[in-house]
Amino acid sequence: MFRADFDKSKNLLTFSFSGHVTETETRQWREKLTELLAGVRPGFKLLSDFSDLETMDLACVPDIELSMDLCDKAGIGKVVRIIKDPRKDIGFNILSVFHYRRRIPIVTCETMEEALRALAD
């Protein structure tokens, strides 16, 4: 399952994945993300919440990669990820190196409180 939203006043894009995520869900999420990116301003921040993620199919990777490319093209300024269990990091840091053209701050947190502080910095 996924949830995605954009707060225009904060120029903050948020999304979360929970449970077992399939390729069908990441494709739907990518389509929603494309809609939301139409409203962002360059330098926007992205909060990705994976705290309730159980598993993600390997077939989801192309959608994740394309989504990173879309965010890069839209001018992403900072990424904050919530990953409670490091074993559930499916390689986001490695993917980031290849899909964000310029080096942007990327912060991985264990809690929402920590993520909110990172967004404020």
> Which DSSP helix (H) or strand (E) runs through 55?
strand 45-56
* Mean pLDDT per 10-residue interval, the chain, length 121 residues: 94 95 94 95 96 91 91 94 77 69 87 95 83
Residues near 57 by beta carbon (within 8 Å), at least 6 away in sequence: 20, 21, 22, 23
Hey, what are 83's tokens? 């990953």
Look at the pTM and tell me if it is higher than 0.85: yes
pLDDT of residue 88: 62
What pLDDT score does 12 carry?
Answer: 97
Is 12 in contact with 47 (CB distance < 8 Å)? yes
Structurally, how many domains does the chain consist of? 1
Here the CATH number for the domain that contains residue 57 is 3.30.750.24
Domain interval for residue 113? 2-120
Residues in Cβ contact with 120 at an 8 Å cutoff, skipping those fewer than 6 apart: none
Task: Give the pairing of strands 2-7 and 12-21.
Answer: antiparallel
Residue 87 and residue 4: Cα distance in Å, rounded?
23
